Amino acid sequence: MDDMAPMRRNRLIRTANANKADSAHIKFIFSRLNRGSMALCRLLGVCSKQGFTPSATRSMLSWMEDCEVIEYDYSDSNTHVQLRLTGLGKRIYVNEVQA
C-alpha cells in the first residue's frame, strides 16, 4: 500500500463532491464501474460519448489507481484490459461520492 494513497483518496473525494467538470468525470467513472468490471476500451468509449476526452479519462483512471480505488486486470494476451472498483472503491463510492 502506498503511503500517499489515503491523502490522494481524500483529495479524490473532495474533488468528486465539488461541482466542477472533474467531479462529473469522477462520478461518471465510479458509477460505470460500480455496475461491474468493464473493458478499458469500452470505458474510454462511453466517457468519450459523454464529452470526456480519452486522455482526460486516462488521467482520471491513473489518479484513481494511485488512490487504490480501481484496479486493472490484464488478460494473458495483454490485449483485453478490464477495470473494476476495489472493495475500498465501492465503499467510497457508496458512502462518500454517491451520497
User: Residue 79 is inside which H or E element, if any?
Assistant: none
Give me the residues paired with residue 39 across strands.
82
- Asked whether the predicted pLDDT for residue 2 surpasses 70, the reply is no
- The H helix count followed by the E strand count for the chain is 5, 3
Grid cell 481524500 in the structure block, residue: 10
Q: What is the pLDDT of residues 18-37, one digit of tens each?
A: 988 899 999 999 999 999 98
- Asked whether the predicted pLDDT for residue 57 surpasses 60, the reply is yes
Q: How far apart are CA 33 and CA 85, in angstroms?
A: 6
Residue 42: what pLDDT? 92
Report DSSP letters for 1-30, one per residue: --TTHHHHHHHHHHHHTSSSHHHHHHHHHH
